[in-house]
Structure 1
Amino acid sequence: MNRITRDAILGIDVSRDWLDIHCLPSNQRLRLPNSEDGHARVGALAKSACALVCFEATGGQEWRLWSALDVAGVATRQLPPAQIKAFAASRGTRAKTDRIDAELIARFMAFRPDTGRTLPHEKIRLLRALVSKRGQLVETRKRLLAQIKAHAKLGSDDLFDVMDGDLKDLLDRQIAGLEVRIEQIIASEEGLATTAAILRSVPGIGPVASTMLIAEMPELGQITGEQAAALTGLAPIAHDSGAMRGKRAIGGGRRPLRHVMFQAALVASHHNPVLKPFADRLREAGKPHKVIITAVARKLVTIVNALCKSRQKWTTQLA
């Protein structure tokens, strides 16, 4: 790997313990430990070759490597796993090993050089981690509440009541603590605080949705409305062939953000003075509920993107 071609691509499959690397166009392979020493060696190789380093989003395994490479001044991209999987299927690749995955990542980057996410700044990274953890705890609490209801119907032992009550109190405190920390981070930087104020001025966008938009879509205000809808997976995808016109559907994008925008759209479809009449027209036209909420969510995303671009708060005249 000491003679890597300049302007190369290093595809890395990141696991807990190892970094499996595939270099294009030389097709050389290397395995390094997922440690500070391994990160430094990747950085040195990439800088010597003016290489672009790319890897999948792995739920956090890649963050230490990503941060180390950013500090070293190496160009990096985080790629969506769903697109890598589809790319593998298009090539007829059915086997799955760390080495194969590393090669697929590199070849996908060569095929789609415009794709992927760059490393957000430190506060956005921390915000994203806090938002993700809050979401996990909220889901845990939701499942616990369902279990509490089931225990109540069965007339379960008081022991369950005590255990469930203690666990619920713990989750409530942890969620509240995360929310305080999230608000502190947003308030500590003028740009983030201004963006949050703009987002929360829109009827339907509350603290959770505004924080998720800031954390998961830092491009907000720097892209077109169509791009914003696509990034959230709310852009309609055509299924046409010849004279046939298939149903449009949504998919892809940043799934956690899309789910939050659906919740915001439910509120906006009843309380936003611009989007409520729009939703009512769709209801009167007989559109299914899911179609209505998706359309409202898509409009909501394009509205907040436009407001962030102009750095103006919501008014019905601007919507």
Structure 2
Amino acid sequence: MSKSSFDVCILPEGQCRSFANNSEGIADFLAFLDSYNQIERLILEPTGGYERMVETALQASGLPLAKVNAGQVRQFARACGQLAKTDRVDAFILADYGRRMPIRPQAPVSAGSRSLKQLVQRYRQLSHMIVQEKNRKEKLVGKVKIWIEETLQFLQTQRENVVKDMEHCLSADCQLARKAEVPMSVKGIGLKTACFLLAGLPELGVLNKGQIAKLIGVAPLNRDSGQMRGKRMIAGGRRPIRNALYLAALSAIRFDPTMKAFYEKLKSNGKPGKVALVAVMRKMAIILNAKMRDHLDQNH
């Protein structure tokens, strides 16, 4: 994917085509796909937003689409000895990755979910800019400091408006609103965290407890070799979701008696505070996954 075009590789034929990344080019791409009797799945790499039009069109057509981690695809290419990088080579690597690796096609995304995802992304951008401006403000005096204070006021007001739009987005989509009620039923999780989970973790309720913990990045991973038994540590996962769950866990160990008792038990057994807190996060993730699975089963 690029701003102006996107390249496609069909396996096992190895046929490659390039299309313009606009309405006409996407229409040509869909017509090209119609010439194939059966498509197992389409593999799409996230590129910071350039893929959104193609993604929306493919989902609207009911085609099995899967988005993959760009870093993992690049590691796969290196493991295959493919060090060159062009759009056509990348298209082949994506198709080959999809052919060899177990990838689950993503569920169709509603218009409300897409809007919510954009609002969550904007909230994070504004929060990042607010932190930057506050850091600059500490080092300045005079008129420049006043300008920064004005900018901060604007950014904070817009962030508040984004939260209001999140509420409107949920109220306008009944199905999305019911899904948001599931995480908010857990102590420590409010509207913003629920929106972060819905936007950034659509697999919630679909994967098993071990998979969801790994996806978030709160599952301890083995580091053993021969007679050596390494220290279990968390690694990888979706950092924005993990950060949101971290704040939720801090609230949970204060206001949820069950989570507080669980946390205190781990501390009394000699676990460091951060390790105990990650265990609370993992427990919350498992509870959320089970609750969302029950919700999805009831509505199918």
Aligned to 2:217: 233
Q: What's the counterpart of residue 204 of structure 1? A: 188
* CA apart distance, 1:311: 4.2
TM-fit CA distance, 1:64: 0.5
> Partner amino acid for 2:26?
H
SS of the equivalent of 2:257 reads coil
Q: How does 1:269-308 map to 2 (within 5 A)?
A: 269-308=253-292
User: 2:152 is matched with which residue?
Assistant: 168
Contact 2:112 2:176 in 1 (8 A): no
Indicate the residue corresponding to 1:65 in structure 2: 54
- Determine the structure 2 residue equivalent to 1:99: 88
Matches within 5 A, 1:185-264: 185-264=169-248
- The answer to whether 1:125 aligns with 2:102 is no
TM-score, length-scaled by structure 1: 0.85
In structure 2, the residue corresponding to 1:274 is in which secondary structure? helix
Deviations along 1:190-220, one digit per CA (max 9) or x if unpaired, are 3322332332232211222111111122332
Query: Map of 1:30-109 to 2, 5 A cutoff?
Result: 30-49=17-36, 50-51=38-39, 52-109=41-98
- What is the aligned partner in structure 2 of residue 26 from structure 1? 13
Question: Residue 106 of structure 1: CA displacement?
Answer: 0.7
Q: Using the alignment, how far apart are the partners of 1:215 and 1:63 within structure 2?
A: 15
1:150 aligns to what SS in structure 2? coil
Instruction: Quote the sequence identity (%).
Output: 32
Deviations 1:150-195 (A, max 9, x none): 22xxxx22x1122112101110121111111111111223332233
The C-alpha deviation readout for 1:243-293, integer Å capped at 9, x for no partner, is 322222223333321221122122223332111122222223333333222
Deviation at 1:116, TM superposition (A): 5.2
Whole-Å separation in 2 of the counterparts to 1:266 and 1:149: 28
Paired residues, what number?
Answer: 294
- Deviation (angstroms), 1:139: 0.8
Q: Give the counterpart letter for 1:37 in structure 2.
A: E
Mark the runs of 5 or more structure 2 residues left unpaired by the alignment: none
The residue type equivalent to 1:196 in the other structure is A
Q: Does 1:149 align with 2:138?
A: yes
1:284 and 1:166 map into 2 onto residues whose CA distance is 48
Gaps of 5+ in 1: 1-13, 313-319
How far apart, in 2, do the equivalents of 1:161 and 1:32 lie? Answer: 49
Contact 1:237 1:248 survives alignment (8 Å): yes
- Cα-to-partner distance string for 1:104-137 (whole Å, 9 max, x where unaligned): 1111100114345344222111111110111111
Q: Distance in 2 between matches of 1:177 and 1:20?
A: 38
Change in Cα spacing, 1:30 to 1:115, as seen in structure 2 (3 Å) is same
User: Is the contact between residue 23 and residue 106 of structure 1 (CA under 8 Å) also seen in structure 2?
Assistant: yes
Letter in 2 for 1:233: G
Q: Deviations over 1:40-62 (max 9, x none)?
A: 12212222213332111222211
Q: What is the one-letter code of the residue matched to 2:182?
A: I
1:68, distance to aligned residue in structure 2 (A): 1.4
SS in 1 for 2:139: helix
Q: What RMSD, in angstroms, separates the aligned Cα atoms of the two structures?
A: 2.0
The match for 1:183 is 167
Q: Distance in 2 between matches of 1:241 and 1:261?
A: 32
Opposite residue 283 of structure 2, the aligned amino acid is K
**Cα distance between partner residues in 2 of 1:304 and 1:113:** 25
8 Å contact kept, 2:113–2:176: no
Counterpart CA distance in 2 for 1:300 and 1:262 is: 10
Distance 1:43 1:57, change over 3 A: same
